[in-house]
Structure 1
């Protein structure tokens, strides 16, 4: 089984704010954000996934996250 590593960006139109992160499952992470299971998400529940990029290793994904 191959583990996939993603950097993602979500946007909330209600508060005009972007959030970047790392996850092996960005769509599931978006659902968590929209369910207000993090500090950022408690401010709005209209977040959309606007960017995701896959990497072969977690280290590469985290390095990319730092430059976004």
Structure 2
């Protein structure tokens, strides 16, 4: 089963959110229809990027990598397709 790294964007708060899911489209619906936690303040969210990985471990590795960087410029580089997915 594939796991997806996904990136959401909220125009309301002008912020990105990164997560991992087996079904990013369903996860987007959950974030928008059942808001809670950090993402609650950004509704509505839009899916701006997703990338499939063969394992949950690999998808979570990249999610943690992105979140640790804390750089909007990195996320925007990923969205534009300019990021090299190399460990």
Task: Please give the range of the TM-score, normalised by the shorter of the 2 chains.
Answer: 0.7 to 0.9
- Structure 2: gaps (5+ residues): 67-87
* Aligned residue pair count: 66
Q: RMSD in angstroms over aligned alpha carbons? A: 1.2
State the shift of 1:36 in Å.
Answer: 3.4
Q: In the alignment, which residue of structure 1 is the partner of 2:46?
A: 48
Identify, as 1 or 2, the structure richer in helix. Answer: 2
- Structure 1: gaps (5+ residues): none
Q: In the alignment, which residue of structure 2 is the partner of 1:23?
A: 21
Distance 2:34 2:10 in 1: 12
Structure 1's consecutive aligned runs of 4 or more residues displaced over 4 angstroms after TM superposition are none
TM-score (norm 2): 0.69
CA contact (8 A) 2:35 2:43 kept: no
